[in-house]
């Protein structure tokens, strides 16, 4: 499943990021394979998603979120 399908409040772990460019950019924000994150907010009309990762909050556009493959935490 992808980050774009995660519900607000759910925690997940990144398993893969599709695309080199996306992986590069997300890397800078501390989002890479293995990173744990929690979905904080989901903006309407296919707007950005806000995730908390490490100690910070990062807003990710919907198209970017569709490239982040995640696994839900149990």
Question: What does the longest C-alpha to C-alpha distance in the chain come to?
Answer: 30
- For other proteins, the closer of residues 13 and 46 by Cβ is 46
Distance of closest approach, residue 6 Cβ to other proteins, in angstroms: 14
Distance of closest approach, residue 70 Cβ to other proteins, in angstroms: 16
- For other proteins, the closer of residues 61 and 71 by Cβ is 61
Distance CA(55)–CA(57), nearest Å, equals 7
Distance of closest approach, residue 9 Cβ to other proteins, in angstroms: 12
**Residues near other proteins (CB under 8 A):** 20-30, 32, 40-48, 50, 54-61, 63-64
- For other proteins, the closer of residues 11 and 58 by Cβ is 58
CB 38 within 8 A of CB 9: yes
Q: What does 1-49 look like in DSSP terms, one character per residue?
A: -BGGGPPTT-EEEEEEE-SHHHHHHHHHTT--TT-EEEEEEE-TTT--E
């Amino acid at each position: 499943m992808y980050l774009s399908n995660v519900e607000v409040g759910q925690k997940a772990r990144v398993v893969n990021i599709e695309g080199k460019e996306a992986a590069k950019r997300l890397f800078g924000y501390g989002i890479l394979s293995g990173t744990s994150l929690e979905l904080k907010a989901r903006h309407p009309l296919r707007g950005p998603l806000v995730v908390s990762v490490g100690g910070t909050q990062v807003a990710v556009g919907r198209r970017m979120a569709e490239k982040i493959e995640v696994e839900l935490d149990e």
